[in-house]
């Protein structure tokens, strides 16, 4: 589906719509409706279950969204967190200098200074993308943070946080005690980040207020040995920086063992890159051949990163590979800057033999971008001939259907209970729905329209199972269970629904590290 088509479906079905829509909208801000929020929450739960599940010493916390100026001064955001902005003298339109050049086919512009971008713009003599006049200004650095007057006196400056990561660094000293002074220590945060993007675009892809899910792993750089053998054979579709420099555009599949062979990528990094890939492929269900791991070179990566691979997924609605997450090796940059800035010693000495600043590995993930990714990759239109239809029986709507084939554990409603005839079967349907709710299953009981139309609506919002209650249910307690993707239907006692569906409603977790066996007592 194209972006506009997807957004139109999103609006119609209560997934997402522009914020302040009745005032004409506010660029880069979107509201989630019940269906979108349901998917977003399930995605966040699946993310936490996977990444916090990587180690027993990893925790989810919720720091404040607002940070005092001293924090962003130390982190480097006050100085460096800027894009190059150009404005049109004729129509007043603003655009990012690098994006303008990229749209005209100029490559390798990421990380260039405003001056270098200005020289390229002059060389190309580009017109304003809105009015067509050749009246673009010289690029100037534009800081992307939203500044706030903090407190009634208005004298203190604060900022909406530009990334959730900062909350983890600020909480490190506190969490060091909570985590019983052990490394690795993982601090995960799921929450809003705010950026005054020059050119917000592509709906959930470049927003001004968006949700990140980030895990900061603090570790001893001389002793961080996650069980690499568990990923050694994992196939990683890598596009290395050196290969890109030589003109490669397609990834080359290497195993995690091959990736660490040259010694420039440490095993702990490859281990987490493999686990991140598995999350996209095995938890979100993105096709393996649409994922690539793109390494950023020194010029492109953020000032704090030593190793940086973006996790990119090919999305048809956005015309190609897009960054949906990343793995950043940030070294000791963050703790050292906040240690200096706050005057707090953030070094640790867990063994009593060596005092050092922990290093940080950051696994970052854009929640909104992945809600979009789930729609792009799992929404399908099926013509009747392409349905397998073991159960494409009389109740099914004829003609094409739109189907959101989400993994069942990411669907907001897990079971729809449909009374065949509203007047006769609603009471029984409610009774069955209540029993399922008591077992922790998210249930809806849609009442209006024919059963076929109700199936179609539930297919569109991703509900994986539909239960139909009819005259026979009143006699023998059995119902029809319809499976969304195959439309297969089976008859079973209502009491068996939960056990039939429950296993599919739990997101996968990474295997727990083996617990060392206690030595046998003689």
- 285-293, 318-326, 447-455, 482-490 -> range binding ligand GAP (CB under 6 A): 318-326
Token representation of residue 126 = 């580009």
- The DSSP line for 342-387 is HT----B-TTSS--BPPEEEEEEEEHHHHHHHHHHHHEEEE-GGG-
The one among 95, 101, 217, 324 contacting ligand GAP by CB under 6 A: 324
CB 136 within 8 A of CB 125: no
The least distance separating ligand GAP from the CB of residue 227, rounded to whole angstroms, comes to 26
Nearest-CB residue for ligand GAP: 366
Give whole-number Cα distances, 287 to 272, 283, 315, 411, in Å: 19, 11, 11, 18
- 84-92, 171-179, 358-366, 475-483 -> range binding ligand GAP (CB under 6 A): 358-366
The least distance separating ligand GAP from the CB of residue 56, rounded to whole angstroms, comes to 24
CB 272 within 8 A of CB 260: no
CB 332 within 8 A of CB 361: no
Site for ligand GAP in 245-264 (CB under 6 A): none
The least distance separating ligand GAP from the CB of residue 377, rounded to whole angstroms, comes to 15
Helix axes 367-378, 34-51, angle to 10 degrees: 110
**For residues 191 and 251, which CB has a smaller minimum distance to ligand GAP in the complex?**
191
Site for ligand GAP in 362-391 (CB under 6 A): 362, 364, 366, 368-369
- Does the footprint of ligand GAP cover residue 312 (CB under 6 A)? no
If you search the block for the tokens 């990528």, which residue do you land on? 265
- 361-369, 382-390, 427-435, 441-449 -> range binding ligand GAP (CB under 6 A): 361-369
- 105-113, 205-213, 231-239, 461-469 -> range binding ligand GAP (CB under 6 A): 205-213
- Does the footprint of ligand GAP cover residue 18 (CB under 6 A)? no
**For residues 197 and 220, which CB has a smaller minimum distance to ligand GAP in the complex?**
197
The least distance separating ligand GAP from the CB of residue 163, rounded to whole angstroms, comes to 4
- Does the footprint of ligand GAP cover residue 308 (CB under 6 A)? no
- Does the footprint of ligand GAP cover residue 359 (CB under 6 A)? no
- Does the footprint of ligand GAP cover residue 210 (CB under 6 A)? yes
The least distance separating ligand GAP from the CB of residue 370, rounded to whole angstroms, comes to 7
If you search the block for the tokens 């008591």, which residue do you land on? 438
- Does the footprint of ligand GAP cover residue 300 (CB under 6 A)? no
The least distance separating ligand GAP from the CB of residue 323, rounded to whole angstroms, comes to 5
- Does the footprint of ligand GAP cover residue 214 (CB under 6 A)? yes
If you search the block for the tokens 């069942």, which residue do you land on? 408
CB 249 within 8 A of CB 108: no
In sign, the C-alpha dihedral spanning 411, 413, 414, 415 is: negative
The least distance separating ligand GAP from the CB of residue 200, rounded to whole angstroms, comes to 7
- Does the footprint of ligand GAP cover residue 167 (CB under 6 A)? no
**For residues 302 and 488, which CB has a smaller minimum distance to ligand GAP in the complex?**
302
Cα–Cα dist 13/140, whole Å: 41
The least distance separating ligand GAP from the CB of residue 480, rounded to whole angstroms, comes to 41
Considering CB under 6 A, how many residues would be counted as binding ligand GAP?
Answer: 18
- Does the footprint of ligand GAP cover residue 99 (CB under 6 A)? no
The one among 85, 163, 234, 312 contacting ligand GAP by CB under 6 A: 163
The least distance separating ligand GAP from the CB of residue 461, rounded to whole angstroms, comes to 23
Phi, psi of 345, deg, nearest 5: -75, 110
The one among 3, 75, 212, 317 contacting ligand GAP by CB under 6 A: 212
Give whole-number Cα distances, 309 to 329, 361, 412, in Å: 9, 12, 31
Total Cβ atoms within 10 A of residue 119: 14
Provide the β-strand partners of residue 491. Answer: 480
- 116-124, 254-262, 359-367, 415-423 -> range binding ligand GAP (CB under 6 A): 359-367
The least distance separating ligand GAP from the CB of residue 363, rounded to whole angstroms, comes to 10
- Does the footprint of ligand GAP cover residue 325 (CB under 6 A)? yes
If you search the block for the tokens 């925790």, which residue do you land on? 59
Site for ligand GAP in 170-199 (CB under 6 A): 195, 197
In sign, the C-alpha dihedral spanning 329, 331, 337, 343 is: positive
The one among 323, 382, 430, 485 contacting ligand GAP by CB under 6 A: 323
The one among 326, 361, 433, 451 contacting ligand GAP by CB under 6 A: 326
Q: Tell me if residue 86 falls in helix, strand or coil.
A: strand
10 by Cβ neighbours in 10 Å (0-12 / 13-18 / 19+) ranks as buried
DSSP 517: P
Token representation of residue 205 = 């892809």
The least distance separating ligand GAP from the CB of residue 302, rounded to whole angstroms, comes to 7
Please state the three-class secondary structure of 276-342 as a single string. HHHHHHHHCCCCHHHEEEEECCCCCCCCCCCEEEEEEEEEHHHCEEEEEEEEEEEECHHHHHHHHHH
Binding site for ligand GAP (CB under 6 A): 163, 165, 195, 197, 206-207, 210, 212, 214, 323-326, 362, 364, 366, 368-369
């Amino acid at each position: 589906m194209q972006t506009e088509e997807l957004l139109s479906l999103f609006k119609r079905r209560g997934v997402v719509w522009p914020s302040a829509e009745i005032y004409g909208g506010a660029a880069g801000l979107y509201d989630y409706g019940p269906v979108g929020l349901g998917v977003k929450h399930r995605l966040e739960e699946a993310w936490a279950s996977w990444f916090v599940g990587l180690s027993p010493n990893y925790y989810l916390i919720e720091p404040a969204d607002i940070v005092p100026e001293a924090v962003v001064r130390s982190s480097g955001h006050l100085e460096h967190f800027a894009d190059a902005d150009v404005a049109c003298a004729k129509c007043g339109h603003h655009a990012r200098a690098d994006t303008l050049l990229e749209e005209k086919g100029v490559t390798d512009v990421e990380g260039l200074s405003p001056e270098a971008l200005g020289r390229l713009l002059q060389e190309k003599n580009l017109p304003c993308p809105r009015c067509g006049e050749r009246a673009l200004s010289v690029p100037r650095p534009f800081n992307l943070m939203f500044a706030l007057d903090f407190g009634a006196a208005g004298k203190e400056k604060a900022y909406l946080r530009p990334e959730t990561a900062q909350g983890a660094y600020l909480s490190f000293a506190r969490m060091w005690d909570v985590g019983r002074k052990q490394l690795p220590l993982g601090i995960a945060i799921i929450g809003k980040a705010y950026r005054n993007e020059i050119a917000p675009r592509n709906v959930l892809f470049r927003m001004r207020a968006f949700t990140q899910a980030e895990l900061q792993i603090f570790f001893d750089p001389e002793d961080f040995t996650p069980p690499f053998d568990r990923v050694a054979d994992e196939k990683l579709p890598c596009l290395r920086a050196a290969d890109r420099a030589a003109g490669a555009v397609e990834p080359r599949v290497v195993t995690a063992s091959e990736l660490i062979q040259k010694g420039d990528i440490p095993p702990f990094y490859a281990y987490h890159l493999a686990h991140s890939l598995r999350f996209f492929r095995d938890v979100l269900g993105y096709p393996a051949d649409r994922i690539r791991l793109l390494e950023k070179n020194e010029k492109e990566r953020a000032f704090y990163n030593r190793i940086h691979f973006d996790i990119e997924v090919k999305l048809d609605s956005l015309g190609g590979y897009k960054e949906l997450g990343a793995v950043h090796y940030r070294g000791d940059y963050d703790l050292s800057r906040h240690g200096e800035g706050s005057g707090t010693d953030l070094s640790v000495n867990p063994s009593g033999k060596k005092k050092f600043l922990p290093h940080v590995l950051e696994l970052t993930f854009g929640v909104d971008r992945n809600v979009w990714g789930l729609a792009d990759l799992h929404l399908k239109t099926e013509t009747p001939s392409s349905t397998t239809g073991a159960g494409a029986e009389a109740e099914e709507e004829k003609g094409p259907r739109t189907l959101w084939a989400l993994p069942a554990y990411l669907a907001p409603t897990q079971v729809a209970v449909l009374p065949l005839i509203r007047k006769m079967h609603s009471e029984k349907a409610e009774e069955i729905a209540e029993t399922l709710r008591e077992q922790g299953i998210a249930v809806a009981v849609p009442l209006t329209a024919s059963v076929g139309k109700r199936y179609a609506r539930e297919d569109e919002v991703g509900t994986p199972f539909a239960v139909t209650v009819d005259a026979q249910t009143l006699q023998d307690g059995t119902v029809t269970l319809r499976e969304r993707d195959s439309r297969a239907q089976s008859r079973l006692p209502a009491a068996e629904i939960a056990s039939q569906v429950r296993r599919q409603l739990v997101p996968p977790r990474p295997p727990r590290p083996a617990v060392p066996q206690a030595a046998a007592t003689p």
